[in-house]
Structure 1
Amino acid sequence: MTAYRIELAAADDVAALAAVERAAARLFPERLLPLHLRGETMAPEKLMAAQAAAMLWVAKDSAATVLGFACVAMHGQVAVLAELDVLPACGRHGIGSALLAAVVAWGNARAIPTLYLTTFLEFAPSQALYRKFGFVTLGAAPDFLAAALRQEAEAGLGQRVAMRLTFPRNKAAKTCPSRD
């Protein structure tokens, strides 16, 4: 078992994240993530902005090597899980769950009403992780997520879906309306 800790990312952690993202991309079947897209990663400036806003978490081993990360972006009052990746060699050790738990705790602590994400419909490990935390697949996504799904399809990604986690204690706050 890999020993690790979850913490907010430091600015000097950002440089390691692209390698984690590229390594994790190898887990997806080519029909979902074509080979020509596997080298694409989150823009460093977006990661730096998330780090500066305390919306970027990393999993590190005892040698301070980054094993995985989770990045959140805000869209109005709601949050979007922009990326969650773990090095394949460190998979199946609860790192993805621990990163997602940190994001969920952050959302609850800040009274964020809803956390959204997009993911592959046919990739069972991602679906299982998100469902374990209470995410539900949306039939109709809010406009900003519907636009993201269209962009992902145009880029050549396999079938993607939007998912939502509504924080029970924050229900009084608004969520984004879905398209009709």
Structure 2
Amino acid sequence: MTAGYELFRRNRVADYRVELASASDVEALAEVEQAAATLFPERLLPLHLRGETVACEKLLAAQTAGMLWVAKDAANSVLGFACVAMHGAVASLSEIDVLPAYGGRGIGSALLAAIIAWGKSRGIPTLYLTTFREFAPSQALYRKFGFVTLGAVPDFLVAALRQEAAAGLAERVAMRLTFSCGKAGKSCKSRD
């Protein structure tokens, strides 16, 4: 990948690139998140929660910190985005969404690959996330990159899972990807 974590992909339907978001990209993200929410069955994501989106202030803070990526087409329309937060020395994937019309074209994978490259370049040992236990598209994406479901969950994720359950999200699970460091492919020392 080039500096700025740009990734260009050619697929059958459109060209897209993944890059760090600009402040002007943030206004388009709520629409992407709401559209992506329609993919989840109501038993997992109740209808009353589908209008909820990541707060604009949180996205702007992530953008300023260089922890918000967007996927755009040739016309600069936002097709998807991903946001990361730091918890001490480790990171968590706060959100990743792709417009349903662009699903299955590798955009989610490209966003996640950009985040992993970012984490490795900064020596971050671990990337965590929470997701639906049985939503096949999410599970397939995360497992493809080597995420594993956790039994023991770090405190900050315990709190996140409780908040998600209290909000009405069903069947959530925490996952972790430990980055390999160095030439021998050894795991980074976990600092969770």
TM-score bin, normalised by smaller chain: over 0.9
Asked if 2 retains the 8 angstrom alpha-carbon contact of 1:58 and 1:69, the reply is: yes
| Unpaired stretches in structure 2, ≥5 consecutive residues | 1-12
| Unpaired stretches in structure 1, ≥5 consecutive residues | none
Matches within 5 A, 1:27-106: 27-106=39-118
Output the TM-score relative to the length of structure 1: 0.96
Identity level (%):
74
Q: Which residue of 2 aligns with 1:175?
A: 191
SS in 2 for 1:92: coil
| Matching of residue 16 in structure 1 with residue 28 in structure 2 | yes
Asked if 2 retains the 8 angstrom alpha-carbon contact of 1:2 and 1:93, the reply is: no
Paired positions, count: 176
Structure 1 stretch displaced more, 147-156 or 64-73: 147-156
- What is the CA deviation profile of residues 78-101 of structure 1, one whole-angstrom value per residue up to 9, with x for unaligned ones? 000000000000000000000000
RMSD of aligned alpha carbons: 0.9
Offset of residue 173 of structure 1: 3.4
SS in 2 for 1:4: strand
Asked if 1 retains the 8 angstrom alpha-carbon contact of 2:81 and 2:98, the reply is: yes
- What is the CA deviation profile of residues 106-162 of structure 1, one whole-angstrom value per residue up to 9, with x for unaligned ones? 000000000000000010000000000000000121011011101111111010000
Structure 1 segments (4+ residues) deviating >6 Å? none
Q: Could you tell me which of 159, 163, 171 is aligned with 1:147?
A: 159
1:131 and 1:174 map into 2 onto residues whose CA distance is: 20
Output the TM-score relative to the length of structure 2: 0.90
Asked if 1 retains the 8 angstrom alpha-carbon contact of 2:62 and 2:68, the reply is: yes
Q: Could you tell me which of 132, 138, 162 is aligned with 1:126?
A: 138
Q: Could you tell me which of 20, 23, 26 is aligned with 2:38?
A: 26
Asked if 2 retains the 8 angstrom alpha-carbon contact of 1:2 and 1:90, the reply is: no
SS in 1 for 2:15: coil
